[in-house]
Amino acid sequence: MTEQQILDDLVSSWVSLALEYAQGAPDLTTIYIYVSSERGSVYPEMFFEQGGEIRYPSDVVGVDTGVERVRSVHRFQFEDLRAAEARFSEIGVPQPTEYRITFDVATRRTDMTLSRELIYANDPVKVPERGLQYWLGDRAPQPF
């Protein structure tokens, strides 16, 4: 398996998970998937642009946003990530530390940006929970 195949499988799984979660949500235009994975710290999250506003999974209108359902989404994201990281190790490829994925619901187009730099581990101020804000700026919802 190649690095590109691993990434394609991972992104496909995450996008499918997000689409399943948001099935039936009105005015859904874009899905943003942000994942940070650095030295023992993992932050998986997905966000949904609905009615012009980017929302956390628990804030999506028109779907079941129960705590257990949101937790299961994060659990599946985490499991997919761990499986991909194991495959990267098997083929001797450094694992990404950050994934920024955009999926346009109307066009079905996926864009992905990866980083292999340590972004949070050596910075006393930056936290992965603000990764979407670092990426999308003021458009992103505030985590705290």
CATH number of the domain encompassing residue 112: 3.30.500.20
The answer, as to whether pTM is greater than 0.75, is yes
pLDDT at 144 (0 to 100): 61
| pLDDT exceeds 80 at position 129 | yes
> What pLDDT does residue 139 have?
92
What is the extent of the structural domain holding 44? Answer: 3-137
- With contact defined as beta carbons under 8 Å apart, do 103 and 112 qualify? no
Question: Does the pLDDT of residue 60 top 80, yes or no?
Answer: yes
Structural domain tally of the chain? 1
- DSSP 8-class letter at 30: E
- pLDDT tens digits, residue range 64-112? 999 999 999 999 999 999 999 999 999 999 999 999 999 999 999 999 9
CA distances (Å), origin 102, targets 39, 52, 82, 112, 116: 25, 15, 21, 6, 18
Instruction: Decide if 143 is inside a domain.
Output: no
pLDDT at position 39 is 85
**Does 72 reside within a domain?**
yes
